[in-house]
Amino acid sequence: MVSVDNPRLRPGQRLALERWNRALAAGSRSELVVVPVGYGKTIIGVGSFAVAAAGGHADTCLYLTPTDVLRTQVYHGLERALEVLDARLDVRKYLAENATLHRAAANRANVIVATYQQVAAAPQRYAKLCARRRVHLVCDEAHHLGERGQWAAALRALPVATTMLLSATPVRLDREPLAGARYVPVEDGEGLVIDPLVHVTMRQAWREGRILKRLAMQMKDYAVELRSADGEIYTFTASEMAELPDFDQRCVRQQLRWNDDYVQPLVREFARTLERKRALAPGQHQGLVFAATTAHAEHLARVFARHHPGLRCAVVHSGDELPAAEAEQRLRDFHAGRYDVLIQVRKASEGFDAPTVSVLLKLDAVFSREPVIQQLGRGLRYNHNLPEAQNVLHVFIGRDPRLAPIIDHLEREAALPAIPGQRNRDEPRLEVEATEDEPEQLAGEAEDRATPEIVDVVEAGDAVLDETGRLIEGQQLTMFGIPAPPPAPRAAASVAPPPAPAQREVVDLQAELQEAIDYCKTWTSRAARERAKRFGPRENHFAILNAAYARETGQRGTLSTAADYRRKGDWMKRKYLELLG
Do 88 and 47 touch, CB atoms closer than 8 A? no
CA–CA gap between residue 350 and residue 71 (Å, rounded): 12
| Per-position DSSP letters for 321-356, written without gaps between them | TS-HHHHHHHHHHHHTTS-SEEEESSSSSSS---TT
Closest CA to 42 of 88, 66, 76: 76
pLDDT of residue 435: 42
CA–CA gap between residue 418 and residue 171 (Å, rounded): 8
- Which of 365-386 are b and which e, b meaning 16 or more Cβ less than 10 Å from the residue's Cβ? bbbbbbbbbbbbbbbbbbbeeb
CA–CA gap between residue 353 and residue 76 (Å, rounded): 12
Do 233 and 455 touch, CB atoms closer than 8 A? yes
CA–CA gap between residue 308 and residue 257 (Å, rounded): 18
Strand (E) positions, 325-452? Answer: 341-344, 357-362, 392-398
pLDDT of residue 431: 37
pTM for the predicted model, two decimal places: 0.84
Judging by DSSP bridges, how do beta strands 341-344 and 198-199 pair with one another? unpaired
Compute the half-sphere exposure of residue 131: CA atoms within 13 Å on the CB side of its CA: 7
487 burial type by CB count under 10 A (0-12 exposed, 13-18 middle, 19+ buried):
exposed
AA identity, residue 524: T
CA–CA gap between residue 237 and residue 458 (Å, rounded): 9
| Direct distance between the N- and C-terminal alpha carbons of the chain, in angstroms, rounded to an integer | 56
pLDDT of residue 28: 97
pLDDT of residue 217: 86
Closest CA to 287 of 323, 241, 337: 337
208 burial type by CB count under 10 A (0-12 exposed, 13-18 middle, 19+ buried):
middle
CA–CA gap between residue 432 and residue 334 (Å, rounded): 33
Q: What angle do CA 420, 422, 423 make, to 5 degrees?
A: 90
Q: What angle do CA 66, 400, 371 make, to 5 degrees?
A: 10
26 burial type by CB count under 10 A (0-12 exposed, 13-18 middle, 19+ buried):
exposed
pLDDT of residue 476: 36
Q: Which alpha helices (H) appear in 209-320, and where do they start and end? A: 246-256, 260-280, 294-307
| Per-position DSSP letters for 8-29, written without gaps between them | TS-HHHHHHHHHHHHHHHTT--
Strand pairing partners for 165? Answer: 32, 139
Structural domains of the chain, ranges and CATH numbers in brackets: 11-200 (3.40.50.10810), 211-416+451-459 (3.40.50.300), 506-580 (no CATH)
* Residue-level pLDDT, tens digit, the chain, 581 residues: 677 678 899 999 999 999 999 999 999 999 999 999 889 999 999 999 999 999 999 999 999 999 888 998 899 999 999 999 998 899 999 999 999 999 999 999 999 999 999 999 999 999 999 999 999 999 999 999 999 999 999 999 999 999 999 999 998 988 899 999 999 999 877 899 999 999 999 888 888 989 999 888 888 888 999 998 888 898 988 878 888 888 888 899 999 999 999 999 999 999 999 999 999 999 999 999 999 999 999 999 999 999 999 999 999 998 888 998 899 899 989 999 999 999 999 887 666 789 999 999 999 988 888 888 889 989 999 999 999 989 999 999 998 888 878 877 776 777 888 888 755 545 544 433 334 444 444 445 545 567 899 999 998 876 665 555 443 443 334 555 555 545 445 444 455 566 666 667 899 999 999 999 999 999 999 999 999 998 988 889 999 999 999 999 998 878 999 999 999 999 999 999 999 87
Judging by DSSP bridges, how do beta strands 214-227 and 233-237 pair with one another? antiparallel
